[in-house]
Amino acid sequence: MLTDKDRSYFEGIIKRYIKKYPGEFAAWKQDLEKQQSNLGDKEYATIPNTSGNVRFAMNMPRRLDSMFRIYQKDYLSTPEKMKDFLTEFPNFQVPEKI
């Protein structure tokens, strides 16, 4: 679970990103919806890979990801942190379930 401090930190950066780059955010959101509609496995977003199947958990605009990493390099360094982030901010989640 994210701390209140982390949640506030992420919310602030997301709001600043959307305010500064509204067109980029809208285009990314449209691409994400298209990507989600083309998934064969919508529940877990499993995609084939040369070494087996992998799950595609999240998608985020590159600039927003960079903004997060400037201040907190390890914000998604573990599966648990990613799950906590996606639980709080499901707009970045690709599959229906994590």
CA 85 to CA 52: how far, in whole Å?
Answer: 26
Place of tokens 């997060």: 68
Query: Which pLDDT value is given to residue 72?
Result: 79
In a domain, 97, yes or no: no
In a domain, 47, yes or no: yes
Domain count, the chain: 1
Q: Is the pTM of this model over 0.85?
A: no
In a domain, 28, yes or no: yes
In a domain, 9, yes or no: yes
**How many residues are recorded in the chain?**
98
| CA-based nearest residue to 64, from 39, 47, 89 | 89
Range of the domain at 24: 4-92
Sign of torsion over alpha carbons 39, 42, 48, 54: positive
In a domain, 21, yes or no: yes
Which tens digits make up the pLDDT trace of 55-83? 777 889 999 999 988 877 777 888 888 88
